[in-house]
Structure 1
Amino acid sequence: MSVVFLLLFVGTMATVAGTLFGLANPIITTFLIGLVLFIAYQIYIQIFFSSEKFKNIKESIKEYTTNCNELNDHIEWLKCTHADIRSFDYGEGHLYDNSNFNFQRKEWSKNIKNHLVHNCSASVCKNASDQPFKYLCKYFDIKASEETLSSFEIVLNNFAAAEQGKVLLQNERDSILLDVSKSIPTLIFFFSKNKLIQKLGFEPIDLSDLYFPVFTFQYVSAGGNSSSKCDIKLNITNLDSFIKYLSEIVKFRKSVVGQRALMTSSLREKIKSRDNYTCQYCNLSTRDEQNLLLEIDHIIPLSKGGITSEDNLQTLCWKCNRTKGARIVLAS
């Protein structure tokens, strides 16, 4: 069904509507024209998505959509990385208000209980806002040790890769869509782009940052008339700072002096630049694929005694890094 035919169809239906209801009622006429236009457009896109032309377009980019979906799955896996941080468990209790007076105690409803929330006094809540990292360690039982430091470095490394991967994945998908845009009717490309993306086989990309853990210090007064809270969100910037904070406390007893480095965002970029933004395993680089996701890998994994040092770090593309796992893979 061509666009010209669609317009003729809409025009005919609009004329019929005008004849039936008369020009004296323009609101009904306008409504009917809009309804007919909507129905006609829905029929039009269904016919196009069922056509051989669209099936050929979808088949021609199948390899690219598969690669995008695999990267999407990998990014979702990276988001699941987290340090095992929990507030002290003081047990569970239930408070019931049996007062004979009509007290509303509205703030009691804000008393949330889970492993990411520490219920505390007003002074602790205020101090946590002034010194968030100190109180995060104290009340969420974070030991200042090399093991803890390494675990947060892994979280930062994976979260940073996920954030960069989201941008690169969206750019790659948009690039593929642009390549096929000339074969897609203009009406569908601009007004049904989300449905087009779905029909082409792309999985939805979650661009939110809800996976960043948020730790909360919460105070609710006994009378239920006042409350306050302090949220500490471990996003990329805060993780960078938290790693530096821990490193100032930790004494590197297990590491050779001068060898231990901090897996920060600046070190990640330094290693990529040193390796010419090229995977040290398959030699694929950002010159070959503009939207290639590169990750930083420990050559000797931390689980096998490796440490974070420049000579133990290498750049790998996300596919090689995922395939490697905990194995030791040296640059070719």
Structure 2
Amino acid sequence: MKMSDIAKKSGVSIATVSRVINEDKNVKDSTREKVLKIIEEYDYTPSAIARNLSKKDNNTIGVVVPDISNPYFSEMVEGISEVIDRENLNILIYNTNDKIQKEQKSLQMLLEQRIKGLIITVTSESYEKGKIYLDKFLKSNIPVVLSDRDIKDSSMDCVFIDNIGGAYKGVSLLVENKHKDIAIITGPLKSKPGRDRLKGYKNALSEKEIEITEENIYEGDFQMESGYLLGKEILKRKKRPTAVFVSNNQMTLGFFKAMNEMKLSTPKDIAVLSFDRVELLDIFDINLTTVSASVRELGVKSAEILLERMKNRDKDISQKTILQTTLDVKGSEKKV
């Protein structure tokens, strides 16, 4: 049964039925009772979206991530949920597969549903392209928090990981272990995390006056397949680097797939250090040294800042929070 059917049976307008459903006090008691009786009789359940649109409000937070299958983003969403659930708000999650077209479609749908606020990890392309779309939220007075990835010339609230410092820590550890020939598999260099982790790599080598060569820089896309394919290139080199720094967990999994196919191990055949933890490797008893920040904290902090902004929308100064990284040293950084 539709709202129009309820209106017809009650002998009132659709607008009146809508006002009853949304508990508008400007409806006469007799009319309200008549409409509610029909609703109860026919067990009518109003659409939550329709109710939100009529009220020009929504009790929902939008969360947009590039790859929900990646444990990194799953953990981030868990951190967001931990905070949002305490406020009795709902969460609507969209997965973009790191595609700008899917991101824009997701944002349009969230705009139409008039969400209360948005937390987004933009696609790699959005560093250059996404601001126009996100500005529509700000113009609609919907707060936005950028989480994990930045947008060029943005003044939005944001929570990031210290990508430059984290990569610097990891590569410095490799240098301390006497490595001089260190390859890197970067993220997409059109993304800020991709560029920043490469910058940290270069900073660490430059500080120790180790030559930076283009042949040791391999651009990946943060996906497992690129880690696998680039891993095979690195491992098949006639003069193989003694160490590799892989810029995220998914590419690290791909790199280990390539190693497994070639019957190689770390640190015996090549030292490996990853940005982000890779829990799956623990199952296979692979002791991998990693540099990472608390991804759950990334989600928690993003949600806390969003709630604060929702309560204080007119605040002029945006918040920028940088989460520090820690090294988890397990031996894969050694030079054998």
Normalising by the smaller structure, the TM-score range is under 0.3
TM-score by length of 1: 0.26
Higher helix share: 1
Higher strand share: 2
